[in-house]
Amino acid sequence: MNHEVTGKVFVVILNWNGWQDTIECVESCLNLNYSNYKIVIVDNGSTDNSLTILLAKFPQLDLLQSGGNLGFSGGNNVGIRHALANGADYIWLLNNDTIVDDDALSALVRVADSDRRIGIVGSKLYYYDEPEKIAFAGGFWKNTPLYPVHRGVDELDHGQYDAVEDVDFITGCSLLIKSAVINDIGEMHADFFLYWEDIDWNASAAEHGWRIVFVPNSRVWHKVSASTNSQPGIKTYYSVRNRLLFLQRHRRNLMLSAYVRAVMVCMRYALLGRKMNAMLYFNGLKDFSLGRFGQMS
Of 39, 81, 82, 77, which is closest to residue 57 (Cα–Cα)?
39
Structure confidence at residue 180 as a pLDDT band (50, 70, 90): very high
Nearest CA to 241 among 190, 267, 213, 280?
280
Global confidence as pTM: 0.93
Write out pLDDT tens, residues 88-117: 999 999 999 999 999 999 999 999 999 999
155-169 residue pLDDT tens: 999 999 999 999 999
Angle (nearest 5°) at CA 104 between 170 and 9: 80
The C-alpha atoms of residue 243 and residue 240 are separated, in whole angstroms, by 6
